Structures are given as C-alpha cells and as structure tokens.
Structure 1
C-alpha cells in the first residue's frame, strides 16, 4: 500500500513539474511578444523621425534596420517556443493520464477493501443476531 501511495505521489510530482515547465514557456512567450511590440513601436518611432519607411532606401536609419533584424529573431524565437509549448502540453496530458491510471487503480483497491470489510462486519453482525435469536 505504501508503494502505491509513493508511486501516486511521484506521478503527481511529475505532473506538477511538467505544468511548471509549461507555465515557464508560456511566460517566456509573453515576454518575447512584449519585446516584439516594443521593437515594432521603436521602428515606427524611428521611421516617423526620419520620414522614411522604405527599407531599401539608402538613408533608412541603421537603427531601424537592426531593430527589424532583432524583431525577426524574436519572431523566430516565438515560433520555437510555440512548438515547445505544444510539446509541453502533450507531456502534461500524458503525465496526467498516467497519474489518473494509478489513482483509479488505488481507488478501486480501496473500494474493494471497504466492501470486504463491510462484508466481514455484516457476517459478524449476522452471527450475533443468529446467536441472539437462538437464545430466545
């Protein structure tokens, strides 16, 4: 019995760890999206200052060009994190299914044990009742 409880605790721990990993990835994704918005705002600001929005223009500010490259790197990172999040969600789902298997097995065992205890108690009560009935 102790082993089953330990096994269930272990699987709960695994599920919690996978959920924490997923939460961290989602937080990273939010941070990258915030960076992307900040960079986009910086590019717009620089374009307004320079009065040029054509990236191919020779006078286009170097700052804006570097920001656009950084934004592209961030978008690539966002795509990568999205893939990692999907994989992490699948891991959480699998770990949760595995945990549920152990919990169901343990619940069934406890239910069978309670039924057996109740059956034994009922048999004892029946014997007492029969003994009382014979004495009368």
Structure 2
C-alpha cells in the first residue's frame, strides 16, 4: 500500500467515526427528549389524579416529585449532550475537510511523504 492510500484510509475512517459519533449523540438526545415528554405526561396525569398541582404542598404525590426530579435531571443531561454534539459536529466537519484535502492531494502529511520520497530519490540519484 502506498503512503497516500494509507493516509486516505485513515482520513476516511476518521470522517466516518466522527459522523457516527454525531449520529449517536443525536439519537441519545432524541431518546432523552422523548423520555422528558413521557415524564411530563405522567406528572400531569398524576397531578390530575390526586388533584394537587403545587409541588410544595404536603399532599403532593411522591411519584410526581420523583418523576419531576428525573425529568429535570434529563433536561440537564440533554443540555450537556447538546454541548458535546456541537463539539462533535465541529470535529466531523474538520475530519471531512481533512479527508477532502487528502483526496485532492493538499494534505500536509501527503506533501511531507512526497517530499521525503523526492529527497531519498535525490540522494540515491
């Protein structure tokens, strides 16, 4: 395998891996958002069942309190995942740029290996 082919394979792998990471994070965020929606519905139905909607009321449902805490934790997790998603999207875009440069031959590593080959040929010749 030529050095250029190795660099291209590496860049393709990096781009694909970054794309998978973005897709995974998006999937997790969607699942968490669905869980938040389900918890909101459960909290609402529990409040309707008990007739107590004030969380500070002494008769407020324990189940509704626990579900509300879980929902709030999920919202915090979603916010953290969105930050990670932004970073992953940036990494994916960067990996795709690097792949594009490698495919067109503008990659620094490809240039370096080409120069090394020219130097060793010049020394031999």
TM-score normalised by L of structure 2: 0.81
CA–CA distance in structure 2, aligned partners of residues 30 and 93 of structure 1 = 22
Residue matched to 2:111? none
Structure 1: gaps spanning 5 or more residues: 107-136
1:23-65 CA-partner distances (Å, limit 9, x unpaired): 1111100110010011000000100000111111110011101
CA distance in 1, matches of 2:9, 2:73: 41
User: Which residue does 1:121 correspond to in 2?
Assistant: none
Answer yes or no: is 1:83 the counterpart of 2:87: no
d(CA) in 1 for partners of 2:47 and 2:105? 64
Aligned equivalent of 1:13: 13
Indicate the SS of the match to 2:105. Answer: helix
Question: In structure 2, what is the equivalent of residue 47 of structure 1?
Answer: 47
- 1:1-136 alignment runs, 5 A limit: 2-105=2-105
- Give, in whole Å, the separation in 1 of the partners of 2:80 and 2:17: 21
Which ranges in structure 2 are unaligned for 5 or more consecutive residues? 107-125
Q: When you count helix as a share of all residues, which structure comes out higher?
A: 1
Q: TM-score, normalised by structure 1?
A: 0.75
Q: How well do the aligned residues superpose, as a CA RMSD in angstroms?
A: 1.2
